[in-house]
Structure 1
Amino acid sequence: MQTIELGRTGQQVSALALGAMRMGGDTDERDSVHILNRYLEIGGSFIDTANCYEWWSHPGTLGGQSEELLGRWMRDGNRRDQVFLATKGSAVPVFSPELWDDQGQPNWELARRTFEGAGADTLRHALDGSLRRLGTDHVDLYYVHVDDLNTPLEETLEALHGFVTAGKVRYLGWSNVRTWRLERIRQLCERNGWTLPVAVQQQHSYLRPGASADSASIVNFEQLDYLRAHPDQTLVAYSPILKGVYDSAAKRDGHWLMENYTGPDADARLAALAEVAGEAGVTPNQLVLAFLLQQESPRVLPLIGPRTREQFEGALPALDVKLSEEQLRRLSEAGA
């Protein structure tokens, strides 16, 4: 597997990151360990988790299962030094029995209203809990998981800088964040000598969000322009294949993720994708990953989150796809 530089840090990480969100939840320990071992086997290094994973699949808990599983896996094979380890804080909801209904289904509306946020004390406790579950004295990358508009940025950034100077965190990142906030973060870091986040983790794929889409989590044209102008921050693209909808028109039809992407522009890009996938001999899902892996401005680091062994293996052919300049141009220029 190829590597890319994280921001302008000099740190090389694998060009395809592995998300462990479902590990310890929807994906049982045996399959999780198999996927993790295979990822290392093919040269992967960048593993992503969060302290809240996967609270919604375990009624009565507030997450930590993914971090605990990764901690066991790293200890069992003495693998900590083989991994560039990322985790996140700020998104755990305040505990309430009302977070789950009688069927064990999560109440997302309540969770989004009561997430713990990025206050200094909250993040300190969150990071210490993550380090304990992961069984390590530091993480390589620590994200603010959900941008917290109710806590002064100065408080959050000073606390995060303290994590770095204490040696608990090597690099910082931010997720689910609007562009104006990224610029404000940059200004405050420059003014106060605080550590600048070098990773921006957002939902990003081949389809482009429609004009009516309004989500802090999805990369838009403005944010792409911002990241082109600031290559010291790498775009880590989660949900790069949008739950696998590219391979199936039936799956796209009515899928909640498609609410932000439907329209003539999406139709034109799907048509171009199908055409080039046929030429390259790969599935549309695989082609999307290959397309993102070959983006130069801004650089994109896709983050896959397979639930099964088959889904993981299904993503790997993308690593060997080399699109021509003409194919990349057709894919990039497609649209209404």
Structure 2
Amino acid sequence: MANEITIVLGALALGTRVDEAQSMDLLDQFTDLGGEWIDTANNYAWWLHDSGLGGQGETVIGNWLAKRPGMRERIRLSTKGGAEPTVPNGYPEHVEGLSGPALRTALAGSLERLQVDRVELYWTHIEDRTVPLAETVETLGEFVADGRVARLGASNHPAWRVAQARELAAQRGLAGYTTMQLRWSYLQPAPGVALPQSGHVHASPETFDYVAATEGMWLWAYNTLIDGGYTRPDRPLPAAYDHPGTARRLAALDEVAGELGATRNQVVLAWLAGGPVPVSPIVGVTTAAQLDEAMAARGLQLTAEQRERLDAAA
């Protein structure tokens, strides 16, 4: 389908909140519906596991791939390093970080758990300003040069740090970041109000300006459906969204959803993907119905007037 949205399956809950059998069913469903990109991390999900350490998400994906001959050629894997606790429940004071040795260990562990020899996209999960940026850049370039990583991304990094890293990579003739991953959705938190997830970094106008001005740069968004806050009464929106703009945006969202015969979530995903700077939304699911709803949004097209109305409601 022309202009179809690229929905990325967020695998944070797989292997923990969702057990292995259910996780494999969701992965099967995602690929049966034509999904390709699966996004995980080496620290998913330490806060949901008795060990206080991560790796469960990668492990269940690796076990799924091992039981599905030929599946590796159909899907693209995205994983992250840098934010795994070095002691149980040690985040954020005790994490592996982005030094050369830490990243080499992190990638090797990810590949082993995923039971693959390469990933299509590898992210530095969080910033680490205790390590020279050049050291991180050189290590990441090494991963691309040796074939274990196809593409590099920066998650939860400001645009200026991504720009610095790209310049260092270019000076050294190395592969650099070509993808950014940040929190973003249709509803916007009030400026200066803390999000409940302290590690989340929100996209900003500067982000979109930088991505638009940087050839080949790709933007992924996480927490796109705000943990079910658009549709689930049991998941109220965080306090950061308690401001007049939220009510105006929800009213516009309901208008457009009614016109299209779609759900709020589906309109949000279409809005994210179809803007001046296209975004690939990551969607985390725990049920088959949630996955069906998200994947059904791929062909949803907003008219220019509907997008203008949604944008104006702020």
TM-score calculated relative to the size of structure 1: 0.87
Q: Deviations for 1:52-79, whole angstroms, at most 9, x for unmatched residues?
A: 1111111224111111111111111121
1:80 is aligned to 2:72: yes
Q: Which residue is equivalent to 1:91?
A: 83
Q: How many residues align?
A: 309
How many angstroms does 1:313 deviate by? Answer: 1.8
Percent of paired sites with the same residue: 38
The CA deviation string for residues 284-320 of structure 1, in whole angstroms up to 9 with x for no partner, is 112101211222x211000111022222122233123
Matched-pair contact (CA < 8 Å) for 2:3–2:299 = no
Which of 204, 207, 211 is equivalent to 1:220?
204
In the TM superposition, residue 173 of structure 1 has moved relative to its aligned partner by: 0.5
When residues 16 and 194 of structure 1 are mapped into structure 2, their CA distance, relative to the original with a 3 A threshold, is same
1:134-145 correspondence to structure 2 within 5 Å:
134-145=114-125
SS at match of 1:247: coil
Note the C-alpha offset of 1:42.
Answer: 1.6
SS at match of 2:63: helix
Residue in 2 aligned with 1:322?
301
The 10-residue stretch of structure 1 (261-270 or 160-169) with the greater mean CA deviation from structure 2: 261-270
Letter in 1 for 2:204: N
Q: Any residues of structure 2 matched to 1:147-166 within 5 Å, and which?
A: 147-166=127-146
Q: Which residue of 1 aligns with 2:14?
A: 23
Q: Secondary structure at the match of 1:246?
A: coil
Runs of 4+ aligned structure 1 residues displaced above 3 Å come to: 1-4, 213-216, 248-251
Is structure 2 residue 158 aligned with structure 1 residue 178? Answer: yes
C-alpha root-mean-square deviation of aligned residues, in Å? 1.9
The normalised TM-score by structure 2 is: 0.92
Shift of 1:260: 3.2
Q: Is the 8 A contact 2:58 2:110 kept in 1?
A: yes
1:159 Cα offset (Å): 0.3
SS in 2 for 1:303: strand
Corresponding residue of 1:9? none
Distance in 1 between the 2:87 and 2:3 partners?
40
How big is the shift at 1:249? 6.2
Shift in Å at residue 208 of structure 1?
2.3
Whole-angstrom distance in 1 between the partners of 2:185 and 2:18:
24
Shift of 1:213: 4.3
Looking at structure 2, the residues matched to 132 and 2 of structure 1 have their Cα atoms a distance apart, in angstroms, of 37
* Alpha-carbon distance in 1 for matches of 2:282, 2:34: 15
Q: Which runs of 5+ in 2 are unaligned?
A: none
